[in-house]
Amino acid sequence: MSIIKLLPENVANQIAAGEVVQRPSSVVKELLENSIDSGAQTIKLYIKDAGKTLIQVIDNGSGIDKDDLKLCCLRHATSKITNSKDLFNLKTMGFRGEALSSIASVSQITITSNCLEDSNLGNQIKIEGGKQTAFNEVVAIKGTSISVKNLFYNIPARRNFLKSDNVELKHIIDEFHRIALSNHKINFVFTNNDNELFNLNKSIFKERIIRVFGRSSEQKLIPVEENTEIAKIKGFVFKPEYSRKTRSSQFFFINGRFIKNNHLHHAIKTAYKGLILDDYHPSYFIKIDVPLETIDVNIHPNKTEIKFDNDQSIYAILISSVKHSLGQFNISPTIDFNSNVNLNTPYSFKDKSANIPRVEYDQAFNPFNNLKNPVDVKSKDFVFESYESDDKLNVVDEMNLGLSDSLPAFQLDSRYVITKNRAGLVIINQKRAQQRIMYEVFLKELSNKKNPSQTLLFPLKLEFDNSEIEYLKSIKSSLIHLGFKFTVFDDNLIEISAVHPFLNHELINNLFQDFIEYGDISENKLSHTLNDLVAKVLSKHSSYNTNVKTNQKAIEMMVNNLFACKDSRISPFGKLIHKSISLSEISNFFK
Ligand code: ADP
Ligand code: MG
């Protein structure tokens, strides 16, 4: 008896949807690409609840006629290719005819379209879970509007798998960045829950980058350009001093399509060698145009990976052109003939250079000394406020783990503390101990009602991109609770006016970078709750100046505080804090 069956169309579509539609941002990508392929000049994206409730894209492109509207949600229905030869001459973003059928099989979709300039009548099709539920003539202007409601409503397992709104919104913003950058000649509007996140007029590439990443990115850009027969390279890299610990703002566009490619990324990193620290990453916006027949886009359902015929040559060309630009920039200010970007800078600011933020801090500040006593900030550069000296900083308690009262302890190499317990000798990694102590302090403080806060006399301005700002907003309340004060301004700036007094103020910038690097907790291996993540990152930063020669009293207090911790063995980052050498091991040394 035959046991092989052909799957029903809607089941096949749901399986295909698993590849094409992973999350709301995949829908956003596919719908925006369809609008671009339709020749639209203006594309508007509206989402609700990070796309979980609604994703709507409205364009003024070619529109879809009545007959095609009935077909466009069928699998492999495409107007973009007709035979396999076309696969190697692709000028459109889509071609597989899978997106609408996949999306329609896992959501409630309504497509309204009119393909005629001089008519205000169009058609509307509604499909739920892959089944057509309505088809009507409706009033519509030329173009297409597609709304996708309740993604994965019919696959609860997938819907439950979606991350928090913040995470999903970040994915959507990332996708939007890619599409808005590579299609700078198109107007885009992007609104989330009635909050307009982007309103971008068509412009040259450079202006689009500045519009997307904030006005101050203009001064960071160095142009890169190279024309060869195998590839035309055009774009920008960030000056080395603006490299960051996070791998953000890295874009390759091959023939207008955003792609991920480690090989090309490696080429850029190589060009920066010696100019940036190893764990820092350059930002770049590189468009590479190659002859259509030399690439294969059809190797990945999302088309974000591409095979090149000439990847070795392109690798070499990329290194040399980026190196050349970086070199030019080091010798003389780059002359950029596209610099007449009109960003409506008020005249009086135009010729002024940006003020470099300066933070004054108390050099003598040592978190060891402050553990037991209420924080006493002597530096005149800080205005101290709202500190309540209840028991919250008193992490020393009666638990003593057999350490003797007088605690003989001394420092070795400014990095280790040696002490003893009943069993023998204990070697403590000073930095990790400090992280553990501070981690537990911060965790405890997060459950306090009110925390100490130090107002900076000179507020610090830091810049982030939109998705990073959205993320920082999401952790803002925890940070405020811990004594931070910051305001989010337009233009991707945040202004920090107060911090927790235990922090090394010199490193606040790095601290915020780390919040972003460790990122959203729902995708985070380090922590499962926001409070925990915040406490971990803060503990890391409060331990920076730990490896210094410290006075005896502070050493002893550190040892006490460490062994009063809930877990004194493992640092918040999973590393061993101390190791013992037992008396019997010691006696073995002398056998
Ligand atoms: P593909 O883009 O790979 O062709 P899709 O499933 O994304 O496949 O879309 C199917 C077809 O529907 C497209 O080939 C196109 O003809 C039509 N279509 C989809 N979106 C639009 C749009 N916004 N404007 C005009 N036509 C569209
Ligand atoms: Mg498509």
HEC string for 230-296: CCEEEEEEECHHHCECCCCCEEEEECCEEECCHHHHHHHHHHCECCECCCCECCEEEEEECCHHHEE
pLDDT at 376: 34
Residues with CB under 6 A from ligand 1: 30, 34-35, 38, 59, 61-64, 72, 77-80, 94-101, 144
Task: Please give the average per-residue pLDDT across 279-283, as a whole number.
Answer: 89
148 Cα–ligand 2 center, Å = 14
335 Cα–ligand 1 center, Å = 42
Minimal-distance CA residue to ligand 1 atom 16: 79
pLDDT at 85: 80
Task: Please give the average per-residue pLDDT across 357-371, as a whole number.
Answer: 46
- 92 CB neighbour count, 10 Å cutoff: 17
Q: Does the pTM exceed 0.85?
A: no
Residue 124: CB partners within 8 Å, gap ≥ 6? 110, 111, 112, 113, 134, 135, 136, 137, 138, 140
Q: Is the pLDDT of residue 282 over 90?
A: yes
Average pLDDT, the chain: 81
> Which ligand 1 atom is nearest residue 57's CA?
23
pLDDT at 550: 74
Q: Are 220 and 238 in contact (CB under 8 A)?
A: yes
Phi, psi of 55 (to 5 degrees): -130, 120
pLDDT at 371: 44
Closest ligand, as measured to the CA of 100? 1
> Which ligand 1 atom is nearest residue 77's CA?
10
99 Cα–ligand 2 center, Å = 5
Q: Is the pLDDT of residue 511 over 60?
A: yes
Tell me the residue ranges of DSSP E strands in 500-583: 578-582
Q: Is the pLDDT of residue 403 over 90?
A: no
Segment holding 417, helix H or strand E: strand 416-421
Among the residue ranges 208-212, 262-266, 396-400, the one predicted with the least confidence is 396-400
**SS3 category, 393:** helix
Q: Is the pLDDT of residue 535 over 90?
A: no
Q: CA 332, CA 314: separation in Å to the nearest integer?
A: 27
As a whole-number percent, the residues of the chain with pLDDT over 90 amount to 38
Angle between helices 262-271 and 311-331 (to 10 degrees): 30
Environment class of 85 (CB within 10 Å of its CB; exposed 0-12, middle 13-18, buried 19+)? exposed
Q: How many CA atoms lie within 13 A of 108 on its CB side?
A: 9
Tell me the pLDDT band of 126, cut-offs 50, 70 and 90. Answer: very high
**SS3 category, 423:** coil
Q: What pLDDT, in 10s, does the model give residues 21-77?
A: 999 999 999 999 999 999 999 999 999 999 999 999 999 999 999 999 999 988 888
Q: Is the pLDDT of residue 144 over 70?
A: yes
Q: Is the pLDDT of residue 187 over 80?
A: yes
467 Cα–ligand 2 center, Å = 25
User: Which region holds residue 300: left if phi is over 0, alpha if psi is between -120 and 50, else beta?
Assistant: beta
159 Cα–ligand 1 center, Å = 25
DSSP 82-121: SSGGGGGS--SS--SS-HHHHHHHTSEEEEEEE--TT--E
pLDDT at 385: 31
122 Cα–ligand 1 center, Å = 16
pLDDT at 75: 81
Q: What pLDDT, in 10s, does the model give residues 449-483?
A: 777 888 888 888 888 888 788 888 888 888 888 88
Q: Is the pLDDT of residue 402 over 90?
A: no
Q: CA 384, CA 376: separation in Å to the nearest integer?
A: 9
Minimal-distance CA residue to ligand 1 atom 12: 72
Q: What pLDDT, in 10s, does the model give residues 188-222?
A: 999 999 889 999 999 999 999 999 998 888 889 99
pLDDT at 479: 85
Phi, psi of 434 (to 5 degrees): -60, -40
Q: Are 577 and 474 in contact (CB under 8 A)?
A: no
Tell me the pLDDT band of 315, cut-offs 50, 70 and 90. Answer: very high
Q: How many CA atoms lie within 13 A of 268 on its CB side?
A: 24
Minimal-distance CA residue to ligand 1 atom 17: 72
Ligand 1 pocket, mutate which of 76, 100, 297 (most atoms under 8 A from CB):
100
Segment holding 10, helix H or strand E: helix 9-20
Q: CA 375, CA 329: separation in Å to the nearest integer?
A: 46
414 Cα–ligand 2 center, Å = 61
Tell me the pLDDT band of 333, cut-offs 50, 70 and 90. Answer: very low
pLDDT at 298: 73
Q: Is the pLDDT of residue 351 over 70?
A: no
Closest ligand, as measured to the CA of 73? 1
Q: What pLDDT, in 10s, does the model give residues 540-566?
A: 887 766 666 778 888 888 888 898 888
Among the residue ranges 146-155, 303-312, 341-350, the one predicted with the least confidence is 341-350
Q: Are 307 and 299 in contact (CB under 8 A)?
A: yes
Six-digit token pair at 342? 């009109």
In this structure, which residues have their CB less than 5 angstroms from ion ligand 2?
A: 34, 94, 99
Q: Is the pLDDT of residue 326 over 90?
A: no
DSSP state at residue 365: -
Minimal-distance CA residue to ligand 1 atom 8: 97
Among the residue ranges 8-22, 198-212, 355-369, the one predicted with the least confidence is 355-369
Task: Please give the average per-residue pLDDT across 16-20, as a whole number.
Answer: 77
Six-digit token pair at 39? 């020749």
